[in-house]
Amino acid sequence: MVFATFLTPLFILKYNDDIKNGDLTEMTYKNLKALSNFLPAYIFNVESFMEKSRNVKKLLGEVDICFSVKSNPWLIEYADVFSKVEVCSPGELEICINKGIAPERIIMGGICQTAENFQKAVEYGVKRYSIESERQLDLLRNACFNAAFEAAVLLRLSNKNQFGMSKEQAREIFSKQAELTNIIIDGIHFYPGTGRMKKITLTKDFDYLISMLDELDSFKIRCLEIGSGVGVDLFGESDNHDLIAIVSEYLKILKNKYEVTYEGGRIFAAECGIYIAEIKEIRKNDDRIYYIVNGGKHQFSYYGQMFSSGKPTVTVISKTPFDKTMTVNIVGALCNEGDVLVKEIELPEAREGDFLVFHKVGAYSVTEGISLFLSRDLPSVIIERECEFYLQREKTEIHKLNMRRGKERRIGGI
Ligand SMILES: Cc1ncc(COP(=O)(O)O)c(C=O)c1O
């Protein structure tokens, strides 16, 4: 079992023997104590995000990279190493505009587009679009026509799911290129799926893409925007370099023919984030020990954690050095039996007022926690009573919750 402690800077946790040094634990505890009014909290380490992104770019063979805003909108201000950012909803576009992301760096896509979405993007000057259907193409074309604007379009090929279009539909659009005013069909977009942990899945995805590209070979395809959803070991310490190596091999082949951009989120951001909550109560019911924290399962999610398929790394930050370890259950503040953050995990014996740090929540957790994902509006809530509908809550804009408003405020430090 590994314990961890904070080294400088505070939020980079290092797994080594330093943890056995009680002084370091105590120092960390004091620093966290000063933050306790702000807990539970997500903390994203900017340096770690930047370094990871640079390293992955290197491992991918120095291909251009594109950061998916959906994985963590709070990091886009620090995405300098990415030549582009991928935007998939009106809310995400608003965040980019607010954060001054240049329109030339944005590629806009997404499954459910409206005329207004495209109009807004065109007004902002976004030039590149991933288009999933003929309908989307018409909407974009209208928006461009009205604004006397020219857009570059990548046709998104489907991986046999609801996203994108078939190669036949792509072929049809390619062959109409000459009639398309205000639109240049510039290439292909392909994103097969997320959380890929198996080499064979990646290989199949790329082989499928290549077979489709071969069939479209008679058309002018200048660039490719590809994701492969390389997964991250969220519950262990193994790296994913073997998976990245496979992607890199394919990218090398594709780079011979196309201008390639690699698009992703988790692979860059997962490891830079932690979630911290305070243990408010320790309870023993029968022979089970519960650490009750002032957070909850609704505030963070690990890929697959919902099905108890793995245990995240959790660090106890305590006032005093630990005597022993024990098997505990970490539960949250929701009045819900299912609000179990981690089931039966071996942790140091903590005290009330100690802190728990959950690792690798840099991607998705902050938005995927049930209600804030993708910065789309919250749905309205309607009651049906005696064949009448009663509105309980209007559709509610939430994108403002996913960005800082005004100047940042320093709340502590090491
Ligand atoms: C189109 C598209 N691109 C990129 C991503 C990012 O994927 P990942 O975080 O798995 O790299 C997603 C995730 O769903 C996506 O839908």
pLDDT digits (tens, 9 = 90+) for 306-359: 544 678 888 888 877 777 899 999 998 888 888 888 999 999 899 999 989 888
Helical H runs in 177-300? 199-215, 241-255, 266-269
Query: What is the model's pLDDT at position 300?
Result: 75
Question: CB 103: neighbour CB atoms within 10 A?
Answer: 17
Cβ of residue 264 lying under 6 Å from some atom of ligand 1? yes
Helical H runs in 167-308? 167-175, 199-215, 241-255, 266-269
Where does the pLDDT of residue 391 fall: very low under 50, low under 70, confident under 90, or very high at 90 and above? Answer: low
- Give the separation between CA 252 and CA 77, rounded to whole angstroms: 29
Question: Encoding tokens for residue 94?
Answer: 């608003």
Å from CA of 25 to ligand 1 middle? 37
- Which class is 83-264 in CATH? alpha beta
Q: 127, exposed or middle or buried, with CB in 10 Å at 0-12, 13-18, 19+?
A: buried
Query: What is the model's pLDDT at position 20?
Result: 38
Query: What is the model's pLDDT at position 175?
Result: 95
Ligand 1 atom at minimal distance to the Cα of residue 196:
10
Cβ of residue 355 lying under 6 Å from some atom of ligand 1? no
Mean predicted confidence (pLDDT) in 254-274: 95
- Give the separation between CA 66 and CA 241, rounded to whole angstroms: 19
Ligand 1 atom at minimal distance to the Cα of residue 189:
1
- Give the separation between CA 90 and CA 400, rounded to whole angstroms: 12
Å from CA of 192 to ligand 1 middle? 9
> Taking the model in full, what pTM does it have?
0.89
Most trustworthy range by pLDDT among 121-125, 294-298, 357-361, 407-411? 121-125
Mean predicted confidence (pLDDT) in 99-111: 97
Where does the pLDDT of residue 386 fall: very low under 50, low under 70, confident under 90, or very high at 90 and above? Answer: low
- Give the separation between CA 34 and CA 270, rounded to whole angstroms: 26
Question: CB 180: neighbour CB atoms within 10 A?
Answer: 15
- Please answer whether residues 106 and 67 qualify as being in contact, where contact means their C-beta atoms are separated by less than 8 angstroms: no
Å from CA of 153 to ligand 1 middle? 19
Per the model's pLDDT, the better-predicted residue between 313 and 385 turns out to be: 313
- Please answer whether residues 39 and 279 qualify as being in contact, where contact means their C-beta atoms are separated by less than 8 angstroms: no
In this structure, which residue's CA is closest to atom 2 in ligand 1?
A: 191
Instruction: Among 52, 53, 68, name the best residue to mutate to test ligand 1's pocket (greatest count of ligand atoms within 8 A of Cβ).
Output: 68
Ligand 1 atom at minimal distance to the Cα of residue 229:
10
- Give the separation between CA 104 and CA 100, rounded to whole angstroms: 11
- Please answer whether residues 211 and 159 qualify as being in contact, where contact means their C-beta atoms are separated by less than 8 angstroms: no
In this structure, which residue's CA is closest to atom 11 in ligand 1?
A: 264
Query: What is the model's pLDDT at position 15?
Result: 32
For CATH 3.20.20.10, list the domain ranges present in the chain.
83-264
Q: Which residues contact 214 (CB under 8 A, 6 or more apart)?
A: none
Cβ of residue 68 lying under 6 Å from some atom of ligand 1? yes
Amino acid of residue 3: F
Instruction: Among 67, 70, 234, name the best residue to mutate to test ligand 1's pocket (greatest count of ligand atoms within 8 A of Cβ).
Output: 70
Cβ of residue 191 lying under 6 Å from some atom of ligand 1? yes
Ligand 1 atom at minimal distance to the Cα of residue 109:
1
- Give the separation between CA 233 and CA 243, rounded to whole angstroms: 11
Q: Which fold has domain 5-44+272-365?
A: Lyase, Ornithine Decarboxylase; Chain A, domain 1 (2.40.37)
Å from CA of 234 to ligand 1 middle? 17
Instruction: Among 106, 188, 194, name the best residue to mutate to test ligand 1's pocket (greatest count of ligand atoms within 8 A of Cβ).
Output: 194
Is it the case that residue 249 has pLDDT exceeding 70? yes
User: Which range has the worst mean pLDDT, 9-18, 69-78, 110-119, 277-286?
Assistant: 9-18
Question: Encoding tokens for residue 370?
Answer: 């049930």
Q: Which residues contact 116 (CB under 8 A, 6 or more apart)?
A: 90
Query: What is the model's pLDDT at position 196?
Result: 93
For CATH 2.40.37.10, list the domain ranges present in the chain.
5-44+272-365
Å from CA of 307 to ligand 1 middle? 21
Query: What is the model's pLDDT at position 380?
Result: 57
Cβ of residue 227 lying under 6 Å from some atom of ligand 1? yes
Secondary structure letter of residue 196 according to DSSP: B
Where does the pLDDT of residue 395 fall: very low under 50, low under 70, confident under 90, or very high at 90 and above? Answer: confident
Q: 4, exposed or middle or buried, with CB in 10 Å at 0-12, 13-18, 19+?
A: buried
Q: Which residues contact 399 (CB under 8 A, 6 or more apart)?
A: 90, 91, 92, 94, 95, 375, 376
Instruction: Among 263, 360, 365, name the best residue to mutate to test ligand 1's pocket (greatest count of ligand atoms within 8 A of Cβ).
Output: 263
Closest CA to 363 of 52, 3, 38: 52
Tokens 């394919």 belong to 250
Distance of CA 40 to the CA centre of its chain: 20
Mean predicted confidence (pLDDT) in 273-295: 92
